[in-house]
Amino acid sequence: MEKTRHILAINVGSTSTKVAFYRDSERIVQESLAYSAADLAGFKDLRDQLSLRESGLRSFIEKNNIDMRKVDLVVSRGGLDSVTRPVITSRLMRLACSSSSSVVSCKALP
């Protein structure tokens, strides 16, 4: 019997973060985390918003009882660049991540 895969998909936009959780190809839950102009006013750029975006993702994960230890793959696109993508992925999954161009590789921390 084939193993079930758990996937967290993240799409960072200028004023929202869309996030979804899949079990194989079945979407279990999806949400758009919207940020108002007031929420974003104090940030210089997307990189400075990292803690705000991470907090929103953590709330989504907790609210939907997603066990990150069982997540097999995190897919990210959009505004997260090669600097912020490894940071947010490693914080969510307790991984050591590095990036090269648009590819991020991670390994589990002990």
Residue 99 clears pLDDT 70, i.e. is over it = no
Q: Average of pLDDT values for 56-83?
A: 80
pTM to 2 decimal places: 0.74
Q: How many independent structural domains does the chain possess?
A: 1
Residue 25 clears pLDDT 70, i.e. is over it = yes
- Structural domain including 104 reads 6-108
For residue 1, tell me if it sits in a domain: no
Residue 83 clears pLDDT 50, i.e. is over it = no
For residue 62, tell me if it sits in a domain: yes
Instruction: Give the list of residues 6+ apart from residue 105 with CB closer than 8 angstroms, or none.
Output: 97, 98, 99
Residue 41 is predicted with a pLDDT of 92
User: Where is 9: in which H helix or E strand?
Assistant: strand 6-12
CATH number at residue 27: 3.30.420.40
